[in-house]
């Protein structure tokens, strides 16, 4: 079994079945011009919704039907026969977490309590951002880059496809989606430009602080 702490509200984003597409925490055009309404419309309205719909379809009348999202992820991770359910459950969780990782008022300096942790772990906020950007740009193919808390220290990790650090016993603080569907309409192949714009203008340090507390 995984080490997901399902008693911690910061890691519990989904109630039991049927799973619902949570509302966006802001308007579809609120992150423009960094992430356009067109991208949000497809990414949230088609991709995220698709993961939720597929999850509900795949778990209907199975042992997973009444489990929370986090328990489904914990029960199917690393099990080839549960791959379709894992992928859709994890992508449902990841996207809900990703929307909260950005804010129209994001970017800039982290709040003091988080900045202190960042400086202790990376040396400076710039060094932390550079490490996040490097992980995001170097993830080969589809995936995610994450700021996580592990044994009291902040770390940057990247995951492939639907993988989520929850299953590795680390606590996600924020994430950036680096699947092409996250940026291709706005940036085409320029993933690095998308990542640096998100880090400079949208990254939600307040959300990271809440998760770290």
Q: How far is the CB of 191 from Fe ion (least distance, A)?
A: 13
- Which pair of structure tokens corresponds to residue 4? 């997901």
Q: How far is the CB of 130 from Fe ion (least distance, A)?
A: 23
Nearer to Fe ion, 180 or 193 (CB): 180
Interior angle at CA 198, CA 193 and CA 201, nearest 5 = 115
Q: How many CB atoms are closer than 10 A to CB 185?
A: 16
Burial class (CB in 10 A: 0-12, 13-18, 19+), 76: buried
Residue 125-164 contact track with Fe ion, rule CB under 5 A, x = bound: ----------------------------------------
Q: Taking CB under 5 A as the criterion, which residues in 157-196 touch Fe ion? A: 177, 179, 182
The residue at minimum Cβ distance from Fe ion is 177
E strands, the chain, where?
Answer: 143-150, 153-160, 171-177
Nearer to Fe ion, 147 or 182 (CB): 182
Nearer to Fe ion, 114 or 199 (CB): 199
Q: How far is the CB of 164 from Fe ion (least distance, A)?
A: 13
Q: How far is the CB of 47 from Fe ion (least distance, A)?
A: 5
Q: How far is the CB of 48 from Fe ion (least distance, A)?
A: 7
Nearer to Fe ion, 182 or 203 (CB): 182
92-126 burial code (b ≥16 CB/10 A, e <16): bbbbbbbbbbbbbebbeebeeebbebbeebbeebe
Nearer to Fe ion, 26 or 130 (CB): 26
Using alpha carbons, select from 3, 2, 26, 23 the residue that is nearest to residue 13.
Answer: 23
- Contact call for residues 168 and 139 (beta carbons, < 8 A): no
What does the binding site for Fe ion look like in residue numbers (CB under 5 A)?
177, 179, 182
């Amino acid at each position: 079994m995984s080490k997901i702490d399902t008693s911690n509200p910061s890691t519990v984003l989904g109630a039991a079945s049927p799973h619902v597409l949570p509302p966006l925490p802001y308007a579809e055009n609120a992150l423009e011009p960094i992430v356009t309404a067109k991208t949000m419309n497809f990414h949230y309205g088609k991709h995220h919704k698709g993961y939720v719909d597929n999850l509900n379809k795949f778990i209907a009348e199975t042992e997973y039907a009444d489990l929370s999202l986090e328990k489904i992820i914990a029960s199917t991770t690393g099990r080839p026969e549960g791959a379709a359910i894992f992928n859709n459950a994890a992508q449902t969780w990841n996207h809900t977490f990703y929307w909260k990782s950005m804010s129209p008022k994001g970017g800039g300096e982290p709040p003091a309590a988080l900045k202190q942790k960042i400086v202790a772990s990376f040396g400076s906020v710039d060094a932390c951002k550079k490490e996040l950007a490097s992980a995001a740009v170097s993830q080969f193919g589809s995936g995610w880059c994450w700021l996580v808390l592990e044994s009291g220290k902040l770390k940057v990790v990247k995951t492939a496809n639907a993988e989520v650090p929850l299953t590795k016993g680390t606590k996600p603080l924020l994430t950036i989606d680096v699947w092409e569907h996250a940026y291709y309409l706005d940036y085409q192949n320029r993933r690095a430009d998308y990542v640096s714009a998100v880090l400079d203008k949208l990254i939600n340090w307040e959300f990271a602080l809440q998760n770290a507390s």
